[in-house]
A and B are shown apart, each in its own frame.
Chain A
């Protein structure tokens, strides 16, 4: 057993850290006030996010996990995990734009299952950060129970015609195209009857934005006889769920990594505050009522870290195999739930500043609250874990 990180990944982390410091930190400082408003000023921030995404893609960080033939760097899941962690740990909101996962706006590894002649439209630009996408699975009547989706696709001549309504779709507002899951065989459903399509934005209608407690607001998407050529299928017709499963485990590692990084940032901020802030004539940290919760947070963070790194390592060594699913669920469940508690303790240590928009930890807790619901809510992860126990 060797827990040491490979030296090339240590070098990559340093390189990414330099990028964040030199190119993102000044922008974060310049735009800090825009994040504090009632709602962040999305219009003025969008171009900033876009420029960071493109610069990071140019330098090879943003979509490093994509294969080299797709314009990526062929970076391992462990390597990507470390970059996702470091972006979150930097405490900079804009750093999250510098690395694609776990934001579904960045290139999905599923895209390489498109036929080669479509790569110029759907693979290279999104890897270069010049376009973005979205991942449209959830519907008003099908969330956790994703195989109950109603959106359907019918083959008419050499076109697929897609009809349906999706909601809660991250980056639905800006996406240049969507990966859309639709029923192609109502009998088979998840067992060979759901297909993943790539659909350009001119074929769907964007509904209302869905404001929520996190800083990422998904959108409704309407497919009213959306038409795509017959080749716009990801992998095999009917195998959409199986194709999506191939990258489920790495996706969960990245959610875990972001939770880890945010928890580390929240703890570091709380430690600093507890040492500097005095009450009753001494630093807050001198009270065990303050220091013990932070000590617990440290123990929690180390547990999250090794679950996340271990999952990433398993995916790298075994492939995104079905056998890894139990670990992926354990990691997603434990990392998001535990990091949320770490953030909650940090909020408490900050007192009033803890719940202020302009403080360092308020948004962290809101983001983590969201992560407990998306990409398979905690209960769905427990369901998977229970199944691995034969329950």
Chain B
């Protein structure tokens, strides 16, 4: 089985995120870059599938030079090879351009399964997996909390508010996973050392056969015109307890319609 996992480098969830004043894009340098958390689950699921059934896992990421660290991390968890799409022309790409680049990189490589996290923690659009499936003309099984591969049939439990739906499709297929699916492993020292020797191909916009004008900030279908910092927290209401503090707090809560 040949599995691709699309992974994105995102700013550390705990770090304060900032937009760059010059072009209103995310300042990716100001915070530590990490492997998008849900993509870790996708990598883990791919590794479990090939540990059980044999095969190869290739991680694919689009991002600046330092997104290479994220590919390395997935390799140190146990993936076999990486593809890094890196090109200044891609800066500021929207989901449409991102999916175009990913689809071009994935196309024609014989993947049976293309795994995604179901959402990135920075932009959180949750649309890239569906867009890639559409571009490649493949069925999509999204929000999987469980994946089973039985010959060429891929079956998932799709997480829903009321429980789950069982759905299946024939490989090749695009699958996005949710957090419930597994517990990702931590890269071990042996894994980290082994990752240093694993191959990572880099691809540019030209290598992908895309026109530079169709990607990047200028090509985005929507644009950020203006942004403002979140206002600082306003001072809270202090109620001094003069014996009737409890009553005053209850009054306040009911005024605010909390109770």
Evaluate contact between A11 and B76: CB separation under 8 angstroms.
yes
CA distance A61 to B189 in the complex (A): 8
Evaluate contact between B185 and A12: CB separation under 8 angstroms.
no
| Mask: chain A, 204-229; 1 = CB below 8 Å from B; 0 = not | 00000000000000000000000000
CA distance A68 to B193 in the complex (A): 13
18 examples of A-B residue contacts, CB within 8 angstroms: A8-B192, A8-B193, A11-B72, A11-B73, A11-B76, A15-B76, A15-B187, A19-B186, A59-B185, A59-B186, A59-B188, A60-B186, A60-B188, A60-B189, A60-B191, A64-B189, A73-B190, A79-B189
Judged by a CB distance under 8 angstroms, whether B196 is at the interface is yes
Give the size of the chain A interface in residues (CB under 8 angstroms): 16
Closest 5 A-B residue pairs measured CB to CB?
A: A60-B188, A73-B189, A15-B187, A15-B186, A75-B189
| Mask: chain A, 58-102; 1 = CB below 8 Å from B; 0 = not | 011100100010000111000100000000000000000000000
- Nearest-neighbour CB distance to chain B for A95, whole angstroms, equals 14
| Mask: chain A, 231-273; 1 = CB below 8 Å from B; 0 = not | 0000000000000000000000000000000000000000000
Give the size of the chain B interface in residues (CB under 8 angstroms): 13
CA distance A12 to B72 in the complex (A): 12
CA distance A56 to B189 in the complex (A): 13
Judged by a CB distance under 8 angstroms, whether A16 is at the interface is yes
Point out the residues of chain A lying under 8 angstroms from B190, CB to CB.
60, 68, 73-74
Evaluate contact between A11 and B186: CB separation under 8 angstroms.
no
CA distance A64 to B191 in the complex (A): 12
Main secondary structure of the interface of B (DSSP, over half): helix
CA distance A349 to B192 in the complex (A): 41
Using a CB–CB cutoff of 8 Å, the interface residues on chain B facing chain A are 72-73, 76, 185-193, 196
- Nearest-neighbour CB distance to chain A for B86, whole angstroms, equals 19
Point out the residues of chain B lying under 8 angstroms from A15, CB to CB.
76, 186-188, 192
- Nearest-neighbour CB distance to chain B for A9, whole angstroms, equals 8
Judged by a CB distance under 8 angstroms, whether A18 is at the interface is yes
**Chain A residue nearest to B190 in the complex (CB):** A73
CA distance A12 to B196 in the complex (A): 13
Point out the residues of chain B lying under 8 angstroms from A19, CB to CB.
186
Point out the residues of chain B lying under 8 angstroms from A79, CB to CB.
189
CA distance A63 to B228 in the complex (A): 49
Point out the residues of chain A lying under 8 angstroms from B189, CB to CB.
8, 12, 60, 64, 73-75, 79
In the complex, besides A11-B187, A18-B186, A64-B189, 6 extra interface pairs with C-beta distance below 8 angstroms are A8-B189, A8-B192, A8-B193, A11-B72, A12-B187, A12-B192
- Nearest-neighbour CB distance to chain A for B96, whole angstroms, equals 33
CA distance A19 to B77 in the complex (A): 13
**Chain A residue nearest to B77 in the complex (CB):** A15
Point out the residues of chain B lying under 8 angstroms from A12, CB to CB.
187, 189, 192
CA distance A74 to B188 in the complex (A): 11
Point out the residues of chain B lying under 8 angstroms from A59, CB to CB.
185-186, 188
Evaluate contact between A11 and B188: CB separation under 8 angstroms.
no
Evaluate contact between A16 and B186: CB separation under 8 angstroms.
yes
| Mask: chain A, 13-32; 1 = CB below 8 Å from B; 0 = not | 00110110000000000000
CA distance A205 to B188 in the complex (A): 38
Evaluate contact between A11 and B192: CB separation under 8 angstroms.
yes
Point out the residues of chain A lying under 8 angstroms from B186, CB to CB.
15-16, 18-19, 59-61
- Nearest-neighbour CB distance to chain B for A14, whole angstroms, equals 8
CA distance A271 to B76 in the complex (A): 36
**Chain B residue nearest to A83 in the complex (CB):** B189
With A60-B190, A73-B190, A74-B190 already in contact, the answer to whether A8 and B185 are too (CB < 8 A) is no
CA distance A16 to B192 in the complex (A): 12
CA distance A11 to B75 in the complex (A): 12
**Chain A residue nearest to B196 in the complex (CB):** A8
Point out the residues of chain A lying under 8 angstroms from B193, CB to CB.
8
Point out the residues of chain A lying under 8 angstroms from B188, CB to CB.
15, 59-61, 64, 73
- Nearest-neighbour CB distance to chain A for B166, whole angstroms, equals 30
- Nearest-neighbour CB distance to chain B for A16, whole angstroms, equals 7
CA distance A17 to B193 in the complex (A): 18
Point out the residues of chain B lying under 8 angstroms from A61, CB to CB.
186, 188
CA distance A11 to B73 in the complex (A): 8
**Chain B residue nearest to A19 in the complex (CB):** B186
Among the interface residues A11, A16, A64, A74, which one has the most CB atoms of the partner chain B within 10 A?
A11
CA distance A15 to B192 in the complex (A): 10
- Nearest-neighbour CB distance to chain B for A196, whole angstroms, equals 28
CA distance A18 to B187 in the complex (A): 10
**Chain A residue nearest to B72 in the complex (CB):** A11
**Chain B residue nearest to A8 in the complex (CB):** B192
